[in-house]
Structure 1
Amino acid sequence: MNAKLVSHRTAPAVQRGPMPRQPWVGVVPSLRAVFQGRTVDADAPWRAEALAEQQEGQQAWQLAAIRRRRWLMFWIVGATALATGLLWRGQAGQGLPSPLQGVQMALFALLFAWVSAGCVTAAMGFWVLLRGDRHALSAKDAAHVRLGRDARTAVIMPICNEDVPTVFAGLRATCESLASTGAQRLFEVFVLSDSSGPELIATERAAWQQLRDHMKAQAAIPGTELQVHYRVRKVRTRRKAGNVADFCRRWGRAFKYMVVLDADSVMTGDALVTLARLMEAHPRAGIIQTAPRPCGLDTMHARAQQFAAQVAGRLFTAGVQFWQLGEAHYWGHNAIIRVQPFMQHCGLASLPGDGALGGDILSHDFVEAALMRRAGYHVWLVNDLVGSYEQQPPHVLAELQRDRRWCQGNLQNARLIAEPGLHAVHRGMLATGAMAYLSAPLWLLYVMLGVAVWLVEGHTMPQAAAVLSPRDMAGLWAVTGLMLALPRVLGLVAVFMRGEQALHGGALRLVGSSLMEAVLSTLQAPLRMAAHSLFVVGALTGWKLEWKSPPREAQDLAWREAFARFAPLGVAAVVVQLVMMQVSPSAAVWLLPMVAPLVLAVPIAVISSRQRLGLGLRRAQWLMIAEETQVPGVLTRAWQLARQFSLQQRPEPIVPTWRVAA
């Protein structure tokens, strides 16, 4: 088979622009400056932008956000005080708690506040889904906005050692959909490769060439086709954030906006055009994040995650939007960014130190959102924009591999909480991002403290690591159970009230699927807690992370790999259970709900990864999502192309005799 020879450039001419990286002030200097009443970085560029926004006065959404956040804190504090009071009153014995009990109750208060925050957020999301939110940014705001010639938008897809057919199938479907809108002359697509290995790079180039030729052939008028470019970065520094920053320095000046895609992202052309229109309609918007709908994989694990995201998960998304409004998250993909302020204010310097919490920032998206808001630009989550999609990990091991990276990145970000100028909401986001993983070892410590309290102080009635009288125990468990179950219940109620049960296989299958997902989630919860605890310990002790791309395609987890990864946790759980049976058989019984899933972690992980099982559930209409009942055209095309590319040979490698943009 002869390789193709080409000689044209793979990317447009470079238009260099600066993207400075301002050093971090650090926690101690920032706090010292606050206590001394000094201003740090008085001449920083972001201060002028922030002052300009302040002079414009508070907008209606900002006043609404302040009121809403006060109510959020009221409900969290109230629920936590109630539950902690029940625990305090119900502890066996009289008088003040012992030191062990005091530490246990402090942990309980922190963890219950974390659970109650999620519950209240889901409740507000339920309200928003049914009643709407007049202060939220909506896709409807862009209905009558026209795009001027200066609204040039780059659609960038950073990739690194990905499955080429899967990636380019989704990208081609996105490009075809964008071309069908008639607005393709305002957009250009860039595939930004950080891949290593000449064979893989040659395969990527061949796939890009096929996509480029296809778009040219499909153009109604020669020269009006959607331009698709490809760049291989020779110096691969700072991972994805560095890849995006390199694009900005080379070509950012040529574009007003850029849409960032992940390797598994698929978006409709209408969604991309709507994002650009929203930016035009809101000049103070720095980032607009969509709410991607997970879909596209057929393993049982992925199907359960997709189903949960669409039934209960969307309540959390709508609830987060309710509290944050124009000070929202940025998740790093399926979002549009105003390029000029991003280049000026969002360059990321490395964190000082050589440990796992130093060096390049891993979870760059949260930090970029905080820096954009600090500079006076708003960050919005638009929850009602249709046409934004992503994939879930195919099995629990792939999920945990992703979480390992997120854990280290979120713990890194906690070092930036005290940086000058950050808004309180984004300081809170950095803290809650860390708490998302710190909660796992804290729950484990809480359980261990409960057992210690019971053993050391001679109690005889352990209950979930807390020692309570029967009446107060019932009250506490009623409150806790309500907090944990309410989001799933409200998710089901919202589906029925909106008449969407047919999209999930009908009423009976909807309820049955919810129970199935809840059981699987319960069985996987101890594994997630143990793994996240190890991740936190590893990050805090300097365990360096090896950066790998997660699997994008459905694949079964091999028994050998699952055994190698999860069997040690099962063995440790058995040892703990045997020791507890010798020390206190009654306490061992109460630990069984946590120990048993760890012992069964290997078969649970393998069975839930089986694509055949997931396909069987789909044929029986279990764990159904809307995109399977009424498949959007862009997804139909992406899945069709993925099957086509998988059945045929890989794109023919191209001999790199061209001038490759590097």
Structure 2
Amino acid sequence: MDSLILAPVDSDTAKDPAEAPPTPVENRLSMPAQNLFKFERKHMRKPLAPALWQTPWLARLVTFGGGLALTVYGGWQMYKVIDVGGVTTLKWTLLALFVLNFSWIALSFAASVVGFVALLSRRPTPPLPESLRETTAVVMPIYNETPSRVFAALQTIFEDVQATGLGRHFDWFFLSDTTNPDVWIAEERAFIAIRRRLGPNARIFYRRREKNVGRKAGNIEDFVSRWGGAYAHMVVLDADSLMTGPTIVKLAAAMEADPDSGIIQTLPLIINRNTLFARVQQFAARIYGPVIAMGLSCWMGRDGNYWGHNAIIRTEAFARHCGLPDLRGRPPWGGHILSHDFVEAALIRRAGYSVYMLPTLGGSYEESPPSLIDISIRDRRWCQGNLQHSRVLFAHGLSWASRQHFLTGIFGYLTSPLWLMQLLVGIVIVFQASYFKPEYFTSEFALFPTFPRFDAQRSLELFALTMGILLAPKFFGLLVAIYEPETRRGSGGAIMLLISTLFEVVLSALLAPIMMLIQTGHVVHIVFGFDTGWDPQRRDDGSVPLMDIVKRHRSHVAMGALSLFAGFMISPSLVAWMSPTIAGLILAIPISWLTSQRWLGLVFRRAGVLVTPEETATPPIAKRGKALSKALARDEDEEINGLAAIHADPELRALHEAWLPARKPRQRGSVTADRALAETKIADAETIEDVVAWLNRGERLVALSDRALIGMIARLPNKADKQEARAAE
């Protein structure tokens, strides 16, 4: 099959597929921006299949009732800890911070209990359908990605869907927002190549926007507005997504069988990771993730959430109800909604469509950032997007579950500064008790003095309870993994699963204080009005330069050293209490460097630690995707300058010009600086090498977008030809 897929099309028997238009005929859908704060319930659609709308009352009672009960109990125990000789203002502050942080882990624990029970009694996944009625678009938004990776991924998914026998029901789109001119031309070369590999019957399309207005949400909106009318559904991928053919077909069948479904989300598992940091993330997602996802799926029912990729969406409903408005004000609080997926799920649910997850469907994969520094870059963007949701939280007509999803995202980032504040208040209380003479007898009448003390025994018991609740979801995931024979064997057996879990717990404990300070910094930056932007994500494994690590973590090391010094000055017992936090901060640089190393991750893999079933028995789609990506990277020079590529290949140049959007004639006197400079430099150039050397990135982008400038470039000789001509003269 591989050789057949990669074989070129015979030009004598078939028209060159590359010459077909890059996009199909437009079939437009209107996608108006929604008014977040104006909605009338009477406009909410009525269910067409009311029997499917069953409210999971028991799961919600256990999750939220159990979480509330645990929070009340933990708060009461904390009150008893500090209520020794009276409660001061600082102690009240400590209690409030503890309750906020404890409520977060209590809710997660209760949901994981639900997920644990549900996983042990789960039903088998539905069989592959024999037929489909509707046509689905599979769309992959890309932004300055490595073409060999994304084109290999989509081809791999395409092949797997074709193998189901239902491939005729799917069209495939690369939705490029690429701003790097060299990557843009590399994408076009890769698109020409994939069309030739797969032949004229493969309905694969490519569209590039000149400006990435609205970022990913705007990219999807552009597709829906222009072509959405032709497709009943769309499967949205990320640039690092992989989904098996049966999974995509089952999603389409599930949406056809449920006329009220608006979004159906899968649970993507992390694969193909090699650095130690990414392998820890991969192991945690594989072993603990299913318990957490199942608990979430159980309590939210049809009031679910959307994670922006590896999901299927009802196109017409999405167009009518999910157009995103810009928030008032400037970024980071205003402007485009960064974490658009949560808001889109809330809006389509507001309109009367269901949103739910199929956490046990399988066959859905993604990748993760390879290092702590890479994940912190992505995390800052997510932090801004989730904090923006505070502007959407009280939108009219939303279900309470949608608001809960917003709160979960917001609180997920606020826990870091809250945890830091709790630590600082605790240190201040100990410092006060150690260095200042306490005011035993206040101005208020009391029979007994106020001593600044804690109940040490109860404090230890509460600490043990907190750690137990915090680690319980991991323990549940471990039990499920041991219970499932395939997962147990694929992870190296019960003993290796236990060793891997212990290692993950220890390393996560050391990473936690570093992430606490990183996320606290993100929150502070956003609160003070700094926008994060949207940089492309580094997806490949590889080592981060040591100096970059030192610069990023030197403040964390300084904080750890200061905490250690202050702790010893105040009380050695305080150092013992804070030792995990202090150790993580002091060791931030070696931890970050070591966990970013690919070789160290591979050492752990060979030792059988942090191994997942998808590594022991690699899914065929992952194996095929990796092999194809390597083959494409060898065959195509992705590092070539876009101007040089256009100059050297007349066929590529002709197709590139044909695919450029039609433009209105330029008005006289209206010219941008980049265009003026690009035209001047091209006119002054004697060879194509001059143009490549002289034009900066912005000027290259303008030149490649302008047919007149492309014509000027095409007429330039290369340096060798110029020298030969001069020698002949």
TM-score using structure 1 length: 0.89
2:369 aligned partner: 393
CA contact (8 A) 2:84 2:453 kept: no
Q: Give yes or no for the alignment of 1:147 onto 2:132.
A: yes
Flag the 1:433–1:59 CA change in 2: closer, same or farther, 3 A.
farther
CA contact (8 A) 2:71 2:103 kept: yes
Distance in structure 2 (CA, Å) of the matches to 1:596 and 1:511: 24
Deviations, residues 304-336 of structure 1 (Å, cap 9, x unaligned): 111111111211011101111111110000000
Distance in structure 1 (CA, Å) of the matches to 2:523 and 2:453: 28
Distance in structure 1 (CA, Å) of the matches to 2:457 and 2:215: 54
Amino acid at match of 1:620: A
Q: What secondary structure sits across from 2:158 in the alignment?
A: helix
Q: CA deviation at 1:139?
A: 4.4
1:610 aligned partner: 597
Distance in structure 1 (CA, Å) of the matches to 2:54 and 2:104: 25
User: What percentage of residue pairs aligned between the two structures are identical?
Assistant: 35
Flag the 1:57–1:286 CA change in 2: closer, same or farther, 3 A.
closer
2:159 aligned partner: 176
Distance in structure 2 (CA, Å) of the matches to 1:330 and 1:467: 47
Flag the 1:292–1:539 CA change in 2: closer, same or farther, 3 A.
same
Q: Give yes or no for the alignment of 1:62 onto 2:54.
A: yes
1:503 aligned partner: 490
Q: CA deviation at 1:67?
A: 3.6
Distance in structure 2 (CA, Å) of the matches to 1:534 and 1:546: 16
Distance in structure 1 (CA, Å) of the matches to 2:331 and 2:277: 34
Flag the 1:121–1:5 CA change in 2: closer, same or farther, 3 A.
closer
Distance in structure 2 (CA, Å) of the matches to 1:389 and 1:60: 28
Amino acid at match of 2:523: V
Deviations, residues 508-532 of structure 1 (Å, cap 9, x unaligned): 2211111111111111101110001
Distance in structure 2 (CA, Å) of the matches to 1:202 and 1:658: 13
Distance in structure 1 (CA, Å) of the matches to 2:490 and 2:453: 45
CA contact (8 A) 2:137 2:235 kept: yes
Distance in structure 1 (CA, Å) of the matches to 2:613 and 2:371: 21
CA contact (8 A) 1:11 1:660 kept: no
Equivalent residue runs for 1:369-448 within 5 Å: 369-448=345-424
Deviations, residues 126-182 of structure 1 (Å, cap 9, x unaligned): 11111127xxxx841x6557311xx11100000101122222221221111112222
Deviations, residues 345-396 of structure 1 (Å, cap 9, x unaligned): 0000011111411110000000000001000000010012121110011111
Flag the 1:57–1:338 CA change in 2: closer, same or farther, 3 A.
closer
Point out the more displaced range, 311-320 or 579-588: 579-588
2:724 aligned partner: none
Flag the 1:345–1:474 CA change in 2: closer, same or farther, 3 A.
same
Q: What secondary structure sits across from 1:489 in the alignment?
A: helix
Equivalent residue runs for 1:545-564 within 5 Å: 545-564=532-551
Q: Give yes or no for the alignment of 1:115 onto 2:94.
A: no
Flag the 1:572–1:117 CA change in 2: closer, same or farther, 3 A.
same
Amino acid at match of 2:428: A
Equivalent residue runs for 1:527-538 within 5 Å: 527-538=514-525
Q: Give yes or no for the alignment of 1:203 onto 2:186.
A: yes
Distance in structure 2 (CA, Å) of the matches to 1:300 and 1:631: 19
CA contact (8 A) 1:289 1:380 kept: yes
Q: What secondary structure sits across from 1:192 in the alignment?
A: strand
Aligned equivalent of 2:196, options 213, 228, 232: 213
1:20 aligned partner: 32
Distance in structure 2 (CA, Å) of the matches to 1:241 and 1:121: 30
1:463 aligned partner: none
1:219 aligned partner: none
2:710 aligned partner: none
Unmatched runs of 5 consecutive residues or more in structure 1: 26-39, 217-222, 461-465
Flag the 1:642–1:180 CA change in 2: closer, same or farther, 3 A.
same
2:455 aligned partner: 469
Flag the 1:611–1:328 CA change in 2: closer, same or farther, 3 A.
same
Q: Give yes or no for the alignment of 1:164 onto 2:119.
A: no
Amino acid at match of 1:563: V
2:614 aligned partner: 627
Alignment RMSD, CA only?
2.2
CA contact (8 A) 1:312 1:487 kept: yes
Distance in structure 1 (CA, Å) of the matches to 2:216 and 2:207: 14
Distance in structure 2 (CA, Å) of the matches to 1:387 and 1:229: 24
1:29 aligned partner: none
2:68 aligned partner: 77
Deviations, residues 59-85 of structure 1 (Å, cap 9, x unaligned): 46533x234223322211211111111
Amino acid at match of 1:78: A
Q: Give yes or no for the alignment of 1:88 onto 2:75.
A: no
Deviations, residues 477-499 of structure 1 (Å, cap 9, x unaligned): 22112102211211111112222
2:431 aligned partner: 455
Aligned equivalent of 1:367, options 335, 340, 343: 343
CA contact (8 A) 2:322 2:348 kept: yes
Equivalent residue runs for 1:461-610 within 5 Å: 468-499=454-485, 500-610=487-597
Q: CA deviation at 1:293?
A: 1.0
CA contact (8 A) 1:231 1:660 kept: no
Aligned equivalent of 2:265, options 256, 265, 289: 289
Distance in structure 2 (CA, Å) of the matches to 1:276 and 1:490: 32
Flag the 1:518–1:583 CA change in 2: closer, same or farther, 3 A.
closer
- Name which structure has the greater RCO, CA cutoff 8 Å, separation 6+: 1
Q: CA deviation at 1:557?
A: 1.4
Aligned equivalent of 2:94, options 85, 88, 104: 104
Q: Give yes or no for the alignment of 1:124 onto 2:114.
A: yes
Equivalent residue runs for 1:178-197 within 5 Å: 178-197=161-180
Equivalent residue runs for 1:639-658 within 5 Å: 639-650=626-637, 653=645, 654-655=652-653, 656-658=656-658
Distance in structure 2 (CA, Å) of the matches to 1:60 and 1:195: 42
Distance in structure 2 (CA, Å) of the matches to 1:60 and 1:20: 29
Q: CA deviation at 1:575?
A: 3.0
Equivalent residue runs for 1:249-264 within 5 Å: 249-264=225-240
Amino acid at match of 2:233: Y
Q: Give yes or no for the alignment of 1:275 onto 2:251.
A: yes
Q: What secondary structure sits across from 2:152 in the alignment?
A: helix
TM-score using structure 2 length: 0.81
Number of residue pairs matched by the alignment: 618
CA contact (8 A) 1:6 1:658 kept: no
Deviations, residues 431-483 of structure 1 (Å, cap 9, x unaligned): 111000000000000111111222235599xxxxx963232123212211210
Amino acid at match of 1:9: P
Distance in structure 2 (CA, Å) of the matches to 1:52 and 1:5: 45
Amino acid at match of 1:102: W
Q: CA deviation at 1:254?
A: 0.8
Q: CA deviation at 1:49?
A: 5.0
Q: CA deviation at 1:595?
A: 2.1
CA contact (8 A) 2:128 2:249 kept: no
Distance in structure 2 (CA, Å) of the matches to 1:14 and 1:188: 14
Equivalent residue runs for 1:286-365 within 5 Å: 286-365=262-341
Q: CA deviation at 1:411?
A: 0.4
Larger radius of gyration: 2
Q: What secondary structure sits across from 1:22 in the alignment?
A: coil
